[in-house]
């Protein structure tokens, strides 16, 4: 096994994927706990579809680094999504469904008019380990560091706002601000992560680790720590298995997450009994 | 000393006009106050105005101190992974909103409060796994971490067994007598409210129809 790992790590593109993938997995899992508890799981899904639409348009216009366009656009969409969900008579789940399918449709339409379903588009959909360029790596690391620092700074407040929004407001916290922060950070992680995981699969690395950890752990802090570990472990196992058996990386990571989820559920069942 | 003064307060929601009409009252230190009234009479709205959760347009609310709040139960909390310790400690946020971590004195306060309410031994347990009465006890502890003077409760005994509800009232009464904590609570349970309260405020359709001692309320109310 060590030989395989050594051989695997000798490829520059895999090194890049491992660096970016592990920190993205970690950040996604941290945010995922709040998103799942706040019943915002679907936001990840919606935003990744928006990201797809924007990436296809950017590619169609021939931008070499579509990430720089996708990041601000997806971030703005995240804020709009929350605003619609909070204020109007369209509930947030329907709002997300409308926006995500529209964005996907725009992406597909733009693709058919311009380049057709080529490998680039396929990579956006299902992820590619080859997708990371060197500048993408630096950008990704920068974004993840910012996400992690903000998460630590706001950890206490995120807990209070997630657990009891009314109490948070009565204590003088601006709860909308923290919801916005979560949405923006999520948007950043999604854009960075979807090149590798693919649009269709990225939301799973946000949701799965949190749900898996909540099977067993019963305090917020433990769930957060466990989610981080579960996510990073799933990523490494996924990328290893995908290399050995030549399966799509994104899909393998999701499947490992699924296996861990089932495992944790079984443990929960046995412990409760 | 008056801890809360409500002056000429009126409030309307965009979809419902005149939820509160011209409300005036004061809450004195060391008293047990109950707001009673039917569903939709504006009780919770009034509490939210006092806490600043609803933006006040007409009238004013003057608060002398931090308020410890115990909101109605939210659906999220039924499956939330949070230990008792985490929940109680989070009450201290209003006193050090700017720092990143909890301070030593916050943790010390949380410990004292948990000991006082007999939940220190179970502090590692998950909040969602507790019985309804224990959950309210934890939320009262959290409220006590936010204030030394007054706690505001929105129907804390909703959905509890009568015997457990009685324990909650007794706990609040004890806090009033031993710690000089002022209580302001919204209640459905008029009989019990009258038994423990020093001051009863009755709301009907957004207007105060009675304010005074429980004995006077009984005399006037039960025709």
Query: Domain spans of chain A?
Result: 2-272
φ, ψ dihedrals at B61, nearest 5°: -125, 120
Sheet holding B58-63: strands in order across?
B20-28, B2-11, B58-63
How many whole angstroms separate alpha carbon A206 and alpha carbon A179? Answer: 16
Instruction: Spell out a b/e string for A213-223, using b for 16 or more CB atoms within 10 Å of the CB, else e.
Output: bbbbbbbbebb
Does B65 lie at the interface with A, CB-CB under 8 angstroms? Answer: no
Give the pLDDT score at B222: 47
Does B87 lie at the interface with A, CB-CB under 8 angstroms? Answer: yes
A172–B94 CB contact, under 8 Å: yes
A167–B142 CB contact, under 8 Å: yes
The three-state secondary structure class of A224 is helix
Give the pLDDT score at B148: 86
Nearest CA in chain B to A40: B76
DSSP assignment of A130-156: T---HHHHHHHHHHHHHHHHHHHHHHH
Pairing outcome for strands B199-204 and B32-36: parallel
Does B73 lie at the interface with A, CB-CB under 8 angstroms? Answer: no
Closest CA–CA distance from residue A149 to any residue of chain B (Å): 11
Hey, which residues 189-248 in chain A have their CB within 8 Å of chain B?
Answer: 214, 217-223
**Residue entry with tokens 């979809």:** B15
Does A173 lie at the interface with B, CB-CB under 8 angstroms? Answer: yes
Going by pLDDT thresholds of 50, 70 and 90, the confidence category of residue B50 is very high
In 3D, which of B40, B65, B38, B37 has the Cα closest to residue B51? B65
- ipTM metric: 0.89
Neighbouring CB atoms inside 10 A of B111's CB total 15
Query: How confident is the model over A179-237, as pLDDT tens digits?
Result: 888 888 999 899 888 888 888 888 899 999 999 999 999 999 999 999 999 999 999 99
Neighbouring CB atoms inside 10 A of A6's CB total 9
Tell which CATH architecture fits domain A2-272. Answer: Orthogonal Bundle (1.10)
How many whole angstroms separate alpha carbon B207 and alpha carbon B204? Answer: 5
Q: Which of B47, B69, B81 has the most A C-beta neighbours within 10 Å, making it the best mutation to test the interface with A?
A: B81
B83–A220 CB contact, under 8 Å: yes
B86–A220 CB contact, under 8 Å: yes
- Mean predicted lDDT score pLDDT of chain B: 88
A221–B86 CB contact, under 8 Å: yes
The three-state secondary structure class of A123 is helix
What's the burial of A236, exposed, middle or buried (CB within 10 Å: 0-12/13-18/19+)? middle
Neighbouring CB atoms inside 10 A of B13's CB total 11
CATH superfamily of B1-65+149-223: P-loop containing nucleotide triphosphate hydrolases (3.40.50.300)
Give the pLDDT score at A179: 84
Q: Which of B44, B69, B88, B90 has the most A C-beta neighbours within 10 Å, making it the best mutation to test the interface with A?
A: B90
Q: What is the mean pLDDT of residues A243-250?
A: 90
Query: How confident is the model over A99-156, as pLDDT tens digits?
Result: 888 998 998 888 888 877 677 777 778 877 776 778 888 888 998 999 999 999 999 9
- Mean predicted lDDT score pLDDT of chain A: 87
Give the pLDDT score at A87: 62
Query: How confident is the model over A152-194, as pLDDT tens digits?
Result: 999 999 999 999 988 998 888 888 888 888 888 999 899 888 8
Does B83 lie at the interface with A, CB-CB under 8 angstroms? Answer: yes
In terms of DSSP H, where are the helices of chain B? 43-51, 84-90, 104-116, 132-146, 162-179, 190-196, 214-221
pTM for the full predicted model: 0.87
How many whole angstroms separate alpha carbon A20 and alpha carbon A129? Answer: 10
Going by pLDDT thresholds of 50, 70 and 90, the confidence category of residue B219 is low
Give the pLDDT score at A89: 62
**Tokens standing for B137?**
């006890």
The three-state secondary structure class of B199 is strand
Give the pLDDT score at B170: 92
Pairing outcome for strands B32-36 and B182-187: parallel
Cβ contacts (< 8 Å) between B129 and chain A: which residues? 218
Q: Which of A164, A174, A230 has the most B C-beta neighbours within 10 Å, making it the best mutation to test the interface with B?
A: A164
Q: Which residue has the higher pLDDT, B215 or A210?
A: A210
Q: Which residues are B185's β-sheet partners?
A: B34, B153
Q: Which residues are B25's β-sheet partners?
A: B6
Query: How confident is the model over A26-51, as pLDDT tens digits?
Result: 999 999 999 899 888 888 888 899 98
φ, ψ dihedrals at B21, nearest 5°: -125, 115
Going by pLDDT thresholds of 50, 70 and 90, the confidence category of residue B172 is very high
Domain boundaries, chain B: 1-65+149-223, 75-147
pLDDT reading at B194 higher than 60? yes
Give the pLDDT score at B220: 58
Task: Kindly report which listed range (A69-78, B137-146, B175-184) carries the lowest average pLDDT score.
Answer: A69-78
pLDDT reading at B105 higher than 70? yes
Under 8 Å between Cβ of B76 and A37:
yes
**Tokens standing for A206?**
């946000």
Hey, which residues 109-168 in chain B have their CB within 8 Å of chain A?
Answer: 124-126, 128-129, 142, 146
Sequence-distant (6+) residues with CB within 8 A of A136 are A16, A20, A65, A67, A195
- Cα of first residue to Cα of last residue in chain B, in angstroms, is 34
pLDDT reading at A82 higher than 80? no
With both helix axes pointing from N to C terminus, report the angle between A220-245 and A2-9 in degrees, rounded to the nearest 10: 80
Going by pLDDT thresholds of 50, 70 and 90, the confidence category of residue B186 is very high
Q: Which residue has the higher pLDDT, B14 or A267?
A: A267
Q: Which residues are B5's β-sheet partners?
A: B26, B62
Cβ contacts (< 8 Å) between B128 and chain A: which residues? 218
B81–A219 CB contact, under 8 Å: yes
């Amino acid at each position: 096994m060590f030989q395989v790992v050594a051989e695997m790590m000798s490829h520059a593109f895999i090194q890049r994927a491992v660096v970016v993938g592990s920190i993205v997995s970690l950040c996604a899992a941290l945010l995922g706990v709040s998103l799942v508890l706040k019943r915002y799981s679907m936001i990840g899904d919606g935003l990744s579809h928006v990201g797809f639409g924007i990436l296809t348009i950017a590619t169609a216009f021939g931008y070499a680094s579509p990430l720089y366009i996708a990041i601000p656009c997806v971030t703005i969409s995240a804020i709009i999504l929350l605003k619609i969900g909070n204020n109007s008579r369209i509930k947030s789940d329907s709002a997300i469904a409308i926006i995500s399918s529209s964005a996907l449709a725009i992406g597909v339409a733009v693709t058919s008019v311009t380049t057709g379903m080529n490998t680039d588009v396929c990579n956006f959909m299902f992820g590619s380990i080859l997708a990371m360029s060197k500048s993408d790596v630096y950008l990704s690391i920068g974004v993840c560091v910012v996400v992690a620092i903000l998460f630590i700074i706001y950890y206490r407040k995120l807990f209070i706002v997630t657990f009891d929004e009314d109490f948070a407001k009565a204590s003088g916290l601006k709860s909308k601000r923290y919801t916005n922060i979560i949405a923006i950070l999520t948007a950043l992680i999604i854009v960075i992560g979807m090149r590798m995981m693919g649009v269709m699969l990225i939301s799973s690395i946000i949701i799965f680790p949190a749900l898996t950890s909540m099977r067993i752990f019963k305090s917020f802090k433990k769930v957060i720590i466990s989610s981080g570990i579960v996510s990073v472990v799933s990523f490494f196992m996924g990328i290893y298995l995908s290399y050995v058996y030549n399966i799509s990386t994104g899909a393998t990571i999701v499947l490992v997450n699924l296996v861990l989820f089932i495992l944790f559920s079984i443990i929960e069942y046995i412990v409760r009994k | 000393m008056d801890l809360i003064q409500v002056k000429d307060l009126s409030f309307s929601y965009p979809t419902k006009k005149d939820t509160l009409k011209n409300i005036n009252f004061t809450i004195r230190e060391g008293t047990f106050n109950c707001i009673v009234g039917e569903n939709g009479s504006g009780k919770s709205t009034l509490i939210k105005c006092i806490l600043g959760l609803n933006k006040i347009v007409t009238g004013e609310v003057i608060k002398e101190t931090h308020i410890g709040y115990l909101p109605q139960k939210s659906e999220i909390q039924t499956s939330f992974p949070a230990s008792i310790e985490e929940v109680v400690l989070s009450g201290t946020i209003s006193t050090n909103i700017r720092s990143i971590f909890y301070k030593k004195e916050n943790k010390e306060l949380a410990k004292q409060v948990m000991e006082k309410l007999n939940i220190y031994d179970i502090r590692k347990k998950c909040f969602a796994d507790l019985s309804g009465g224990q959950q309210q006890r934890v939320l009262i502890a959290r409220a006590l971490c936010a204030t030394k003077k007054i706690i505001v409760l929105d129907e804390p005994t909703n959905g509890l067994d009568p015997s457990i509800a009685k324990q909650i009232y007794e706990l609040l009464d004890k806090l009033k007598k031993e710690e000089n904590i002022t209580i302001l609570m919204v209640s459905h349970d008029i009989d019990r409210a009258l038994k423990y309260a020093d001051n009863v405020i009755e709301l009907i359709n957004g207007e105060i129809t009675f304010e005074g001692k429980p004995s006077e309320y009984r005399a006037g109310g039960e025709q």
